[in-house]
Amino acid sequence: MNEKIVVVDYGMGNLHSVNKALVKVGGNVTISSDPLIIASADKVILPGVGAFGDCMENINSYGLTKVLLNALNSGKPFLGICLGEQLLFEGSEEAPGVKGLGFFEGQVEKIRTTFKIPHMGWNRLELKSPSPILNKAAGEFVYFVHSYHAVPKDKSIITSVCDYGTQITASVGRGNVQAVQFHPEKSSSVGIEILQAFKEWKP
């Protein structure tokens, strides 16, 4: 059975490049902002580009907060990408007072480094704990564009990091929920392998 993957459309995200990459690995993909369609998905992807506050405002105004929390807690595979990873935390320094989805405890903080911000370009992944979607990604270069990164309260959920003059959280995961700060859809063959692993993943 080719499971239905829904890419959540809330007006801010790299939807079409994510969709194209998933189609390339044989995914049965739908882009939707309809809570009923998202609820009926076998797997959910939450992408995100832009500012934390704007994204949460859109998610709330589209009426998607409840369906996303249900999906996160449902046991079905869930993938957050870039800002879609950050939204899974409680809040962000980028938008003081704005509540995130709060699936993971912790905050999103500005990258504090002497290197140029935003952190943009290719960086090598160092795996910290097992992830079902990163089996072939250890030591590989993936593509980042961001100025903030997640700082989880529970460090054991960090699945990979990269070095940018400081240690940056590159991905996190717990149970059915995996999330990456980088863009797999822009990360060449390793990114395609990550999306393929998500397509085939059965928690």
146 as an active site residue: the answer is: no
Say which of 85, 94, 140, 185 is annotated catalytic. 185
Say which of 146, 162, 183, 193 is annotated catalytic. 183
The angle, 0 to 180 degrees and rounded to 10, between the axes of the packed helices 65-72 and 52-61 is: 100
162 as an active site residue: the answer is: no
Dist. CA 148–CA 63, nearest whole Å: 26
Dist. CA 116–CA 14, nearest whole Å: 23
94 as an active site residue: the answer is: no
If you write DSSP's letter for every residue of 85-126 in order, what string do you get?
A: HHTTSSEETTSTT-----SSSEEEEE---SS-SSEEEEEE-E
66: how many CB neighbours lie within 10 A of its CB? Answer: 10
Say which of 55, 82, 140, 193 is annotated catalytic. 82
Burial of 115 (C-beta count, 10 Å sphere; 0-12/13-18/19+): exposed
Dist. CA 99–CA 1, nearest whole Å: 37
Catalytic residues: 82, 183, 185
